Structure 1
Amino acid sequence: MKIRTITQVALMTAILIILGLIPGIPVGFIPVPIVLQNLGVMLAGALLGSKKGTLAVFSLLVLVALGCPFLPGGRGGIAVFIGPSGGYLLSYLLCPLIMGKSLKLFSSRKMLVDFAIIWIVGVVFINVCGAIGLTVLTGMPLLKALLSVLVFIPGDTIKSVAAVLVFEKLRANAAFRSSI
């Protein structure tokens, strides 16, 4: 690995950790809080692409599995992967892979196309996987789980707008383009 790649992955992992240290907002009727960490997952896929973005998220998840309290609420340890957030954590790993490949495949340089990709993968995909995880790991009926995760859509949409704005701003930077 090149030094630049290691640095980019490490910095994105640090961003994911920092966003995980911000406490989640409990919703009440669903055992998963509203968090900012998925913004970092969207940024990992958009800014670093599929390989490096996935590596950054994988690094975070390995640290969490080892017990580091890097998820909102100071959670960590292998048990979080079989709890209510398990589906979300699995989708976090797949999100940068799918998003990076999609952004590369549909590289139209149009903000609306980039937003659609980031929103579909970063909001819809993550929340559907989260609902499936709730069904599998907690026994919640799938329809109820899908309806419950609708509470996350408005905030996650705002996060995807923020991610696309950062992505568009950095993509316009020649130094950034040459480093990815």
Structure 2
Amino acid sequence: MKRSNTTRLLTLSAMMVAILIILGLFPGIPLGFIPVPIVLQNMGVMMSGELLGPRYGTISVGLFLLLAFLGMPILSGGNGGMAVFIGPTGGYLIAWLFTPLLIGLLINRFQIYNKSWIFELLILLLAGVIFIDLVGAIWLSYQSHITLIAALISNLAFIPGDLIKSALAVIIVRRIRKAMHLSLF
């Protein structure tokens, strides 16, 4: 039984890498006032933590980021390579690696999957949106030589879209869990 569950989780991990790549096919929306676009891939990162838990969610996002680091053009807009990780978006990408870990741990700790979807959405907003934007703003501030306050204020432009992406992630993952009869992590 354990081997079957591990196989299922590895298969879902590969599926999440594919979903992250597919979400990268949609070009980012440039904001103009900061060099960081609005992208859909962070929704896939949050879904990884929700669906796969802390271990396999982090593995899937880590594999995706490794492929991007090695130069595969799988980030939004066909970007990839080491330069992306040291550019203005680097902090967001590094935060992506830890996001499934945080989401999975919080969902496990509070057993959110047995409760209303609103609790799961709150976890995504805290461990997904706020964490990613905070780490991204810190790196953006350092890399772009702007104040941290200015970087944090510029990140407010991401919040409306992130709210929508978080709600969609919860809806999609809950349907996948139900359809596949997944017991969490």
Same fold (TM over 0.5): yes
Give structure 1 stretches of 5+ with no counterpart: none
Aligned equivalent of 1:165, options 171, 174, 184 = 171
Instruction: After TM superposition, give the deviation of residue 174 of structure 1 in Å.
Output: 6.2
Aligned equivalent of 2:71, options 43, 46, 67 = 67
Question: Are residue 150 (structure 1) and residue 159 (structure 2) matched?
Answer: no
The 1-side partners of 2:179 and 2:108 are apart by 17
Relative to the length of structure 2, the TM-score reads 0.92
Relative to the length of structure 1, the TM-score reads 0.94
Instruction: After TM superposition, give the deviation of residue 88 of structure 1 in Å.
Output: 0.2
Question: Bigger CA drift: 108-117 or 64-73?
Answer: 108-117
Instruction: After TM superposition, give the deviation of residue 121 of structure 1 in Å.
Output: 1.2
Q: Which residue in 2 is equivalent to 1:80?
A: 84
Give the secondary-structure state (helix, strand or coil) at the position aligned to 2:181. Answer: helix
Q: Which residue in 2 is equivalent to 1:131?
A: 137
Give structure 2 stretches of 5+ with no counterpart: none
Instruction: After TM superposition, give the deviation of residue 172 of structure 1 in Å.
Output: 3.5
Query: What fraction of aligned residue pairs are identical, expressed as a percent?
Result: 49
Question: Are residue 20 (structure 1) and residue 24 (structure 2) matched?
Answer: yes
CA RMSD of aligned residues (A): 1.5
Q: Which residue in 2 is equivalent to 1:113?
A: 119
Instruction: After TM superposition, give the deviation of residue 169 of structure 1 in Å.
Output: 2.4
The 2-side partners of 1:173 and 1:119 are apart by 25
The 2-side partners of 1:6 and 1:46 are apart by 15
Give the secondary-structure state (helix, strand or coil) at the position aligned to 1:144. Answer: helix
**Counterpart residue identity of residue 151, structure 1:** A
Structure 2 CA distance for partners of 1:171 and 1:4, relative to 1, 3 Å: closer
Contact 2:9 2:52 (8 Å CA) reproduced: no
Q: Which residue in 2 is equivalent to 1:46?
A: 50
Query: For each residue in 1:99-136, what CA deviation from the matched residue of structure 2 results, as whole angstroms up to 9, or x when unmatched?
Result: 00001111142212111001111111111111011012
Give the secondary-structure state (helix, strand or coil) at the position aligned to 2:183. Answer: helix
Question: Are residue 96 (structure 1) and residue 109 (structure 2) matched?
Answer: no
